[in-house]
């Protein structure tokens, strides 16, 4: 069965409330990470159609603050798959609900592993990028995968 990037797309919205923020009225980084992991996991679930676990987070960049009353818009999709793992890219924008103006606030790449019924890694399908943007993200994901493998090899 063919698996396309578009089949893993997830869009999630979260309203930033006072309990989600620090003394500057900006959202806690940990809260953003929680939302990001959840959104990415949904993309991995949609792609693998199995249980999945977060294996790593690469390049989590906080680019701009999100404030109380902003709506976070999280978008994720699988960029690259290899054996039992999937790299999921997540982009977060914050929307001012009064003006409608949006700004890019965070980006990250998360790796998930597909698990079988016994909790062991299992093979996932190869993802098929279709658009130029998906092909670029696939190539970049393949490069990051090679870097992760090398990094893990050096830790042994």
Tally of residues, the chain: 156
How many Å separate Cα 80 from the centre of its chain? 12
C-alpha dist (Å) from residue 131 to 6, 30, 47, 134, 149: 10, 33, 17, 5, 27
Number of domains in the chain: 1
At 112, which CATH number?
3.10.129.10
Note the pLDDT tens digit of each residue in 91-121.
Answer: 999 999 999 999 999 999 999 999 999 999 9
In angstroms, the CA 125 to CA 141 distance is 15
What domain range is 67 assigned to?
3-155
Q: What is the mean pLDDT of the segment spanning 86-93?
A: 98
C-alpha dist (Å) from residue 18 to 9, 13, 147: 29, 16, 39
| pTM (two decimals) | 0.93
């Amino acid at each position: 069965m063919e698996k396309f990037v578009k089949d893993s797309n997830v869009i999630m919205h979260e309203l930033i409330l006072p309990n989600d923020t620090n003394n500057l009225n900006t959202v806690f980084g940990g809260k953003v990470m929680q939302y990001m992991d959840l959104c990415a996991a949904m993309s991995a679930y949609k792609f693998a159609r199995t249980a999945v676990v977060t294996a790593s987070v690469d390049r989590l960049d906080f680019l701009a603050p999100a404030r109380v009353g902003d709506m976070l818009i999280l978008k994720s999709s699988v960029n690259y798959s290899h054996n039992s793992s999937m790299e999921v890219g997540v982009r977060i924008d914050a929307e001012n609900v009064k003006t409608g103006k949006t700004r890019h606030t965070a980006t990250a790449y998360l790796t998930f592993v597909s698990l079988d019924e016994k909790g062991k890694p299992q093979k996932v399908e190869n993802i098929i990028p279709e658009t130029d943007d998906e092909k670029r993200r696939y190539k970049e994901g393949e490069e990051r995968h090679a870097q992760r493998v090398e990094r893990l090899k050096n830790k042994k």
